[in-house]
Amino acid sequence: MQFSFALVAAAACAVANAVSFTNGPASFVGITAGKALNISWADASGPVTLTLKTGEANALTTVSTIASGLTGTSYAWAIPATLPESTYALEIGDSTGVPNYSVRFQITGGPASSSSASGSTTSTASSASTTGASNSTITSSSRSSTGTASTTSSGSASRTATTSSGTSTASAPPNANSGASFASPLAFVLLAFAALMTLN
């Protein structure tokens, strides 16, 4: 029983003396890619390793190792300008094998994450498709209106010209035939009169 108690006490002491960050939450506000962040810690046993993590607090994944084999109590981390904008956390570990973590913080100013870039591209493509469809519709409507107007005007002019031409042509023959109709009965009468005179 005494051995178990001593083991638990030793474990608790090790946890209490584990390496930890001395940066307060305010140190992780307004962090920008391409700038430097001063990271400090205390109670390290042996060389320190700093690791950049991302993800939810209970499911952090490693992004990259910031530095390892550190023997001091601080490190100036030059944040890569290419680091994507996201939420991150720092992990610190030493020879005890008991890691500790910083608060989760936002890094801005870097390239947009892949999901944001994809959404942006889709929106632009949709916008371009909508604009192209609108332009096509307007152009087609304009052409249809122009074609209708031209056809109507030309058709009306042709019909009018044909009607006028037909009217003047049809009015000339009745005058000529009218003279012939008067001449024929007169000739018939003269022939009949001549026949009667011959018989007498």
* Residue 187 confidence (pLDDT): 63
Same domain, residue pair 81 and 12 = yes
**Domain-located, residue 118:** no
pLDDT below 50 — which residues of the chain? 1-15, 115-183
Structure tokens at 142: 């304009």
CATH of the domain at 22: 2.60.40.10
**Domain-located, residue 65:** yes
Same domain, residue pair 55 and 79 = yes
Same domain, residue pair 141 and 97 = no
Determine the Cα–Cα distance for residues 51 and 66; give it in Å rounded to an integer: 5
* Residue 98 confidence (pLDDT): 95
Same domain, residue pair 100 and 132 = no
Q: Which residues fall within 8 angstroms of residue 42, CB to CB, at 6 or more apart?
A: 19, 20, 22, 73
Same domain, residue pair 143 and 98 = no
Same domain, residue pair 11 and 98 = yes
74: left (phi over 0), alpha (psi -120 to 50) or beta: beta
User: Which domain does 182 fall in, by range?
Assistant: 127-200
Determine the Cα–Cα distance for residues 53 and 61; give it in Å rounded to an integer: 5
**Domain-located, residue 116:** no
**Domain-located, residue 169:** yes
Same domain, residue pair 83 and 154 = no
* Residue 17 confidence (pLDDT): 72
Same domain, residue pair 93 and 6 = yes
Same domain, residue pair 99 and 7 = yes
pLDDT digits (tens, 9 = 90+) for 93-103: 999 999 999 99
* Residue 110 confidence (pLDDT): 82
DSSP string, 77-137: EE--TTPPSEEEEEEEE-TT---EE---EEEESSPPPHHHHHHHHHHHHHHHHHHHHHHHH
* Residue 200 confidence (pLDDT): 57
* Residue 160 confidence (pLDDT): 37
Determine the Cα–Cα distance for residues 168 and 162; give it in Å rounded to an integer: 10
**Domain-located, residue 79:** yes
* Residue 188 confidence (pLDDT): 66
**Domain-located, residue 120:** no
Same domain, residue pair 155 and 63 = no
Same domain, residue pair 77 and 105 = yes
- What is the number of domains present in the chain? 2
